[in-house]
Amino acid sequence: MLAAAPTAFAYSDEARLPFAGQPGELPLEVALRFAKNRLGEDGRFEYATLKVVQTSRPEAFDRAGITLIREGMMDDSVKGVRQRFALSREENVWTLRAVKEDFSCRRGRKGWGLKPCL
């Protein structure tokens, strides 16, 4: 008898990690290149706003966090999608080490959650 795999709502592109940037590329450029398929296709996108936040500590410029928030989704249940990326820098190359995706729903739960909206 096979055991069922646990249900996970993690970002489906985790198999692509770690995702290395190009020499000289900024952390934002690495995150945007990784997330491009989620942001739109053929020059089209299905959200009203895209917010981008980059965070780091002045004493630790070898690590950065990028958050992409898409809101005003063209979906009757999903209000927003948030992706949070953790990057580290070694030898002038930023590498995306981890990514988390969560959702804000139009109805039901309040705030952000890992489970897709109903």
pLDDT of residue 116: 86
CATH code of the domain occupying 18-38+46-109: 3.10.450
Place 11 in a pLDDT band, splitting at 50, 70 and 90.
low
Buried b (16+ CB within 10 A) or exposed e, 87-96: bbbeeeebbb
CA–CA dist 25, 38 (Å, integer): 20
pLDDT tens-digit map of 53-65: 999 988 888 999 9
The average pLDDT across 27-46 equals 94
- More confident: 1 or 96: 96
User: Is residue 15 over pLDDT 90?
Assistant: no
CA–CA dist 47, 70 (Å, integer): 6
Encoded amino acid at 35, one letter: A
| Torsion of the alpha carbons at 29, 32, 36 and 42, rounded to the nearest 10 | -70
